Amino acid sequence: MSVATRPKQWRIGGRTLTLDRTYIMGILNVTPDSFSDGGQYSSVERAVARAYEMQQQGADILDIGGQSTRPGHTPISADEEWLRIQPALKTLFGKLHIPISVDTYYPEVARKAAGLGVEIFNDVTGFRDPLMRKYAAEHGVGCVIMHDLPLDESDDVCAALRAFYETRTDECIADGIAPACLCLDPGVGFGKSYEQNLQIAARFREQCFGDYPMLAAASRKRVIGMSCGNPPAEQRISGTIAYHTACILGGANLIRVHDVPEAVQAAQVADAILRSHK
């Protein structure tokens, strides 16, 4: 397939997003142990208030997760993950104007979330589980396929990503997921060296695959800290903006962030630069 420029649409649930600008996916972690905001939104009241705040700040999508996937995290069961996210999803059901994504690799959690109005499955294991693909096809949700396979330091990251995307999108389509529902995420920080994580941003256009939308998700991550003196995670906003802007100029359609207002403004400027180049 040919390298993409900027796809026009992404189908999620009952709506279609027209990707004529960069979309902002706001992160809502209802966890006690996430690497940068663990415990801040673990109560349903604070989680719901944060969801409304991000919508007001300009987020286009809310991505809610109940389990940390930071390096060295302790996995929890599907039942425990659902107990963490269900109260917020139930309270928000039908009340937000923006679509909700669930960040999970448990098929049963994703299926239950779809029953409470979730329109996107964001799976850090890249829809490896056939049951996750089955439920995604049944509910017609948008699917974020993240690359999570460990790479050797000698591997060309862009070549590895494109090979992964080809295999996994073929599997998803074979299991009934519409191609228009698929979105690809290079998996910054998952099984990659510091240099490979930098290469994802520096060579973003090389990894774009077919006509699929691309998501960049480096918010506050280790690659940001290592590049600027390792400040605490909450002090990596400017570094995150720099990384994501490089991705947008390389063809990213969506960025996943903790800090919504700053991301919105940066994306608006990056989009203006892209428009001026036409």
Our answer to whether residue 112 is catalytic in this structure is no
1: in domain: no
Residue among 133, 221, 222, 236 flagged as catalytic: 221
What pLDDT score was predicted for residue 74? 76
- Per-residue pLDDT band at 85 (split at 50, 70, 90): very high
> Residues 14-44: pLDDT tens digits?
999 999 999 999 999 998 754 444 456 568 8
2: in domain: no
Q: Is the dihedral angle over the CA atoms 198, 271, 126, 256 positive or is it negative?
A: positive
4: in domain: no
25: in domain: yes
Distance CA 104, CA 78 (A): 9
42: in domain: yes
What pLDDT score was predicted for residue 3? 34
What pLDDT score was predicted for residue 70? 65
120: in domain: yes
> Residues 173-184: pLDDT tens digits?
999 999 999 999
> Residues 157-202: pLDDT tens digits?
999 999 999 999 999 999 999 999 999 999 999 999 999 999 999 9
Total count of domains within the chain: 1
Which structural domain range is residue 243 located in?
Answer: 9-276
What pLDDT score was predicted for residue 73? 64
Residue among 50, 168, 220, 256 flagged as catalytic: 256
3: in domain: no
CA distances to 128, 137, 158, 199 from 186, in Å: 15, 22, 9, 11
pLDDT at 2 over 50: no
pTM above 0.75, yes or no: yes
134: in domain: yes
Our answer to whether residue 221 is catalytic in this structure is yes
Beta bridge partners of 65: 29, 103
Q: Which residue has the tokens 């060579």?
A: 203
For residue 253, what is the domain's CATH number?
A: 3.20.20.20
